[in-house]
A and B are shown apart, each in its own frame.
Chain A
Amino acid sequence: MAGKTLYDKLWDAHLVKARDDGSALIYIDRHIIHEVTTPQAFEGLRMADRKPWRVDSIVATPDHNVPTTADERASGVAGIEDPVSRIQVQTLDDNCDEFGIVEFKINDKRQGIVHVIGPETGACLPGMTIVCGDSHTATNGALGALAHGIGTSEVEHVMATQCLVAKKMKNMLVKVNGTLNPGVTSKDVVLAIIGEIGTAGGTGYAIEFGGQVFRDMSMEGRMTVCNMAIEGGARAGMVAVDDKTIDYVKGRTYAPKGDQWEAAVADWRNLVSDEDAVFDKVVEIDGASIKPQVSWGTSPEMVLPVDATVPNPADETDEVKKSGIERALEYMGLEAGQKITDINIDRAFIGSCTNSRIEDIRAAAEVAKGRKVAANVIQALVVPGSGVVKAQAEEEGLDKILIEAGFEWREPGCSMCLAMNADKLGNGEHCASTSNRNFEGRQGYGGRTHLVSPAMAAAAAIAGHFVDVNDL
């Protein structure tokens, strides 16, 4: 019999009941919640007079709607200027208070983007099943966990039953071999992968990221990669446990201690795919072939190396794809054949659940150090992923370097990644963004998003247009 993949092992360990119809009940260890996708779930619980099955498995924090300026944050929820945002954040607070759920409230130091605070606090651990009403939950897969996004009905279901009705996904291995060149980061790796497999390439699969490049990658880098599994169509992305995983988890607030720690580590060491495991699909990429990436269109698969030119729809034979390229060029205000490095930017955004961890802030600061944001750039925002990241960056003096260079240093939240708060693009503006989606209107009505790494976003802010960070 063939060995098991990491995903097979995680699935088997959480199987409560396999049903005759092919669906299964899967036990959920950790449930992270935020203000946008939960109000209707709590309402459902109330209407049916149900209580959370295991209230201590839930952690809450507001992130999507929170303002990021110190002024607007000063007086907490009451100070949120947008009344609709304020009600949503207040509703989360009220629901958590009513049901006895631990919440890192708006001005708690531990508040932050759900997918940043999970690993950071040790609330999310290797070997867990982790869900959240948010598609970027796969971020936690970097820990060697089965983590994915769910809808609001499922949020209610998990709260009420501690289980998810699921169907086993297929196994896909994305192997990136060799080593990366200077200036190429985890973000470039995942963008290159999406460029290769397409936005639907991983639909129906759980992706394991393997190969030397991921073994060499930091935990933060692995989180960036797993975070964007959904942009390749896969609900879950994961990386096998190794020493880096164990070292990362050790000592975190909610990580096991003492004897339990030893037992947990012994268990976690098994969280790797067996040598003879069989994957339904394998994609191999040479790490050395990856260059710094910039997305040019309105889907994450519309991405190219920084030294490339914008594609010409005339070269595309598939009619649906061809019209997709035409529409993207029109929306993005770009010409076929235009050099990527000739695209000027109006704003830069460094943040989001993809790239707002300490390593990301360091990468941006390293590029920004001793330089200035270009005159044509209206705004260059740096939004740390959590209060903890913010404090650490300030301890390292990164905030000063960034502010000195002309960047704005903000309070933690999702911010301009999806512009549910006040941070947004103006109509027609181009943004070098470290976020995860370049969909039409995502960062603001008519806004034009280009997905890049933190180093590349900082470099674009300095140059005023896209540039290979190695050439700056």
Chain B
Amino acid sequence: MKSFTQVTGIAAPMDRANVDTDMIIPKNFLKSIKRTGFGKNLFDELRYLDEGQPDQDCTGRPLNMDFPLNFPRYQGAQILLARENFGCGSSREHAPWALDDYGFRCVIAPSFADIFFNNSFKNGLLPIILSDEIVAQLFDEMYASEGYELSVDLEAQTVTTPSGESFGFEIDEFRKHCLLNGLDDIGLTLQDADHIRAYEEKRQQSAPWLFGAVKPE
């Protein structure tokens, strides 16, 4: 996984509550067996005026010019500002993959859906929770000022505006550690392989029915 330390970049809006994962990456693009290449279909049904197809070259497709991500001022954005319950719906990790592939490194919202939140950390995409009031303030400042950039510092756990105003955010120590160092979860867990085996052994004695193999016939 790629690490996350600091990012300074243009903030772009996704100004609605309950943005669901079907909206982030519609189901017809989930048929890919790869992890990459979802960026061109991020928010596909909002971003384009036609119906997208998997594996399609999107360069000639008609753009919905009412959709903020298509505005010139938000090109190259790395930080997505969103409203409450961002990422609700399915468990598809294609959602953070699409955001990452598009170029976002960070999503800031008052709240996130649990599975999306969790999936983001596995992909070097930092979801930051700030209060309703602060998010509302950031939206207002962003709309008021073209080229509005935010600086995110994971080590310091701060989001800083162009005027130098800084907001702290909370993050689990373990997730922070993994993100800062780009650590692979599996390798870390396997350091506890002895614990897992010990648990398994004990459990197999006390609840053997949980270890019933599923057999072909």
A40 & B20 in contact (Cβ 8 Å cutoff): no
B172 & A437 in contact (Cβ 8 Å cutoff): no
Does A256 make an interface contact (CB < 8 A)? yes
**Given A161-B189, A200-B111, A437-B89, also A23-B174 (CB < 8 A):** yes
The stretch that binds A, out of B69-77, B80-88, B140-148, is B80-88
Does A48 make an interface contact (CB < 8 A)? yes
Does B47 make an interface contact (CB < 8 A)? no
A233 & B114 in contact (Cβ 8 Å cutoff): yes
B115 & A150 in contact (Cβ 8 Å cutoff): yes
A446 to B28, CA, bound (A): 13
A199 & B207 in contact (Cβ 8 Å cutoff): no
**Given A56-B214, A163-B196, A320-B16, also A204-B174 (CB < 8 A):** no
B33 & A233 in contact (Cβ 8 Å cutoff): no
A233 & B85 in contact (Cβ 8 Å cutoff): yes
Does A177 make an interface contact (CB < 8 A)? no
A327 & B20 in contact (Cβ 8 Å cutoff): no
A153 & B55 in contact (Cβ 8 Å cutoff): no
B214 & A200 in contact (Cβ 8 Å cutoff): no
- What's the nearest-Cβ distance from chain A to residue B64, in Å? 13
B113 & A203 in contact (Cβ 8 Å cutoff): yes
B30 & A36 in contact (Cβ 8 Å cutoff): yes
The stretch that binds A, out of B2-10, B90-98, B99-107, B152-160, is B90-98
Does B61 make an interface contact (CB < 8 A)? no
Q: How many chain A residues touch B (Cβ–Cβ < 8 Å)? A: 83
B172 & A88 in contact (Cβ 8 Å cutoff): no
Does A27 make an interface contact (CB < 8 A)? yes
Complex interface: chain A residues within 8 A of B211 (CB): 29, 56
A123 to B214, CA, bound (A): 7
Contact partner, A199, options B85, B91, B192, Cβ 8 Å: B85
Does B123 make an interface contact (CB < 8 A)? yes
- What's the nearest-Cβ distance from chain A to residue B24, in Å? 10
Does B63 make an interface contact (CB < 8 A)? no
Complex interface: chain A residues within 8 A of B177 (CB): 21
B93 & A151 in contact (Cβ 8 Å cutoff): yes
The stretch that binds B, out of A127-135, A357-365, A368-376, A451-459, is A127-135
Contact partner, B30, options A59, A127, A420, Cβ 8 Å: A420
A16 to B189, CA, bound (A): 11
B33 & A88 in contact (Cβ 8 Å cutoff): yes
Interface residues of A in 255-283 (CB under 8 A from B): 256, 260-261, 263-264, 267
A320 & B17 in contact (Cβ 8 Å cutoff): yes
Does A39 make an interface contact (CB < 8 A)? yes
A422 to B213, CA, bound (A): 35
Complex interface: chain B residues within 8 A of A442 (CB): 22, 27
A36 to B97, CA, bound (A): 14
A200 & B88 in contact (Cβ 8 Å cutoff): yes
B212 & A256 in contact (Cβ 8 Å cutoff): yes
**Given A65-B31, A84-B55, also A254-B119 (CB < 8 A):** no
Instruction: For the complex of A and B, list the 8 residue pairs with the smallest distance between their C-beta atoms, beginning with the closest.
Output: A56-B213, A39-B33, A153-B122, A151-B119, A256-B209, A149-B91, A151-B93, A21-B173
> 18 new A-B pairs (CB below 8 Å) besides A25-B196, A57-B214, A204-B114?
A21-B173, A37-B91, A37-B92, A58-B214, A84-B54, A85-B31, A87-B31, A134-B90, A135-B90, A151-B115, A153-B93, A165-B189, A256-B209, A261-B209, A420-B30, A439-B89, A440-B23, A445-B26
Interface residues of A (CB under 8 A from B): 16-17, 19, 21-23, 25, 27, 29, 36-37, 39-40, 43, 48, 50, 53, 56-59, 64-65, 82, 84-85, 87-88, 91, 102, 121, 123, 125, 127-128, 133-135, 149-154, 156-157, 160-163, 165, 167, 199-200, 203-204, 230, 233-235, 254, 256, 260-261, 263-264, 267, 299, 320-321, 323-324, 327, 418-420, 437, 439-442, 445-446
Q: Can you report 8 A-B residue pairs in the complex whose CB atoms are below 8 A from each other?
A: A22-B174, A65-B31, A161-B186, A163-B189, A263-B208, A324-B17, A439-B20, A440-B45
